[in-house]
Amino acid sequence: MVRLIQYFFGSIFLEISGPSVERFLNLCAKQNLVLWKLKPGGKGYQCSIQKRAYETVLTLAEKTGTTVQILGRKGLPFFLLQHRKRKMFFFGIGMALVLMFLMSQFIWEITISGNERYSKSDMLKYVRNNFYQIGTFKKKIDCNLLEEHIREDHEGIAWVSCSINGTRLHIDIKESLDRKTKQNPKKPCDIVSNKKGTITAMSVKSGTPLVQVGDKVKIGDTLISGMIYYYSDDYQVTETSKIKADGQIILRTNEEYKETIPIATYEKKFVSKSTRVESIQLLNWQLKLPIKEQKGDFDVLGEKKLLHIGDLYFPIGITTKKFEGYEPERRVLTEAQAQSRLKKRLASYLEKKKKKGIKVIKTNIQYQRQGNDYIAKGTIQVEEPVGKIRNIKSLTKKQVEKITPTTATPR
């Protein structure tokens, strides 16, 4: 910050010499003049001062018979003075800043995170086709409405958060609720099941629980209702209200698992790599560039690169294609090799579940050969947090009867 202030106001690097340098320094201290980086050098002392203090320094130097020599000038005032004749240069800088400000009022990038069941390309297509395109004015974007539609239109999504950072619209998805999930529904809600299984543990922070440990539930069942019932002393409902349901429900589920690999496999032996620019983007306009046709077998990876400063994206960039040429090598697996590969895939699959906070209870996997394939097949029993936010629905008479009434004074 100090350096920024010094640059903004300008500084002068001086050499001070003469028989009365000490008296000169004492007078500077009395006048509260700041001399930084003061050190012996040259014929006397060297230091830096603010530009606006230079006239005062000259007066004190004349009074004490001290010689002051300028060794250098730094800062914005001197830069502007040096380039005062380059009006078009500064005009160009000003126009660039104005253009950056105008472009910062629109959305130029949409990103998705947390998705697993739904691919990024599918989610982006859903948002762009039904709600907001690249180049949408930021003030026209309703994040709350977008969150609500994504939850309602995608059964596997339990929680979603949309935010605008710079010129980027970011959508964060959660496919199950847990304690670490920062739920922030904008209105009263229920929590419903997004899995089928048996409840092994539950903790209700707010709302009315409609299930208990040991109950079997299916997808769509209400677990915690946002409806609150107030009873009189004779257990008659006197008042109801709606709140945001919150809590943690752990469900034990049995998951079918199957993984197949062929006996004869082909592995890629990469022999070449190359990258080509496919197109240049400016706003919503793209210039397609010719790409030399690749021969042989190769993998293609496309990548879009937009000019950005942090989260401030601009509609200027390129799309590249990376080509990786390879030669296929045929291998015939033995039973031991096939089983080893299948076990590694299973271990990787279970590790991903553990990272999500899912507890693996037991696995029952059988390995066998079927025709030209080796197969790992069986069930995996897990315990995981479940729950999905949904707008409040009125309880059925049967559900109300299951609620244990508690005496409460109506508010």
User: What is the per-residue pLDDT for 230?
Assistant: 79
pTM of model > 0.85: no
Measured between alpha carbons, how far is 342 from 292 in angstroms, rounded to an integer?
A: 40
User: What is the per-residue pLDDT for 179?
Assistant: 47
User: What is the per-residue pLDDT for 408?
Assistant: 40
Measured between alpha carbons, how far is 80 from 10 in angstroms, rounded to an integer?
A: 11
Ramachandran quadrant class, 335 (left: phi over 0; alpha: psi -120 to 50; beta: rest)? alpha
- Mention every residue, 6+ apart, whose C-beta is less than 8 A from residue 115: 123, 173, 175
Angle at 112 between CA 107 and CA 114, to 5 degrees: 155
Superfamily of domain 109-174: membrane protein fhac (3.10.20.310)
User: What is the per-residue pLDDT for 375?
Assistant: 94
**Residues 173 and 114: beta-carbon distance below 8 Å:** yes
* Topology (CATH) of 2-82: Alpha-Beta Plaits (3.30.70)
The 10 Å Cβ neighbour count of residue 18 is 15
Residue 278, CA distances (Å) to 120, 224, 306, 313 in order: 21, 52, 14, 20
User: What is the per-residue pLDDT for 37?
Assistant: 85
Structure tokens at 130: 């039904």
User: What is the per-residue pLDDT for 346?
Assistant: 93
**Residue spans of alpha helices (H) in 111-224:** 120-130, 143-153
- pLDDT tens for the 411 residues of the chain, in order: 677 777 888 899 999 888 888 888 889 888 888 888 888 888 888 999 888 888 899 989 888 888 889 888 888 888 777 777 777 777 788 888 888 888 889 998 899 988 777 888 888 889 988 998 888 999 999 998 898 888 888 877 878 889 998 889 999 888 766 545 545 566 788 899 888 999 999 998 888 898 989 999 998 889 998 888 777 777 677 788 888 888 889 999 999 999 999 988 877 888 888 888 888 888 777 788 887 777 777 788 888 888 888 888 888 888 888 888 888 888 888 889 899 999 999 999 999 888 878 899 999 999 999 888 999 999 999 999 888 888 888 777 777 777 755 434 434
User: What is the per-residue pLDDT for 410?
Assistant: 39
Phi, psi of 333 (to 5 degrees): -85, 145
End-to-end CA distance of the chain: 54
User: What is the per-residue pLDDT for 183?
Assistant: 54
Which helix (H) or strand (E) segment is 89 a member of? helix 87-103
- The reply to whether 2-82 and 109-174 are identical in fold is no
Adjacent-strand bridge partners of 362: 381
342-372 b/e (C-beta count within 10 Å ≥ 16 → b) = beeebeeebeeeeeeebebeeeeeebeeeee
Ramachandran quadrant class, 235 (left: phi over 0; alpha: psi -120 to 50; beta: rest)? left
* Residue 331: DSSP 8-state: E
Domain segments of the chain: what residues? 2-82, 109-174, 191-252+392-402, 265-332
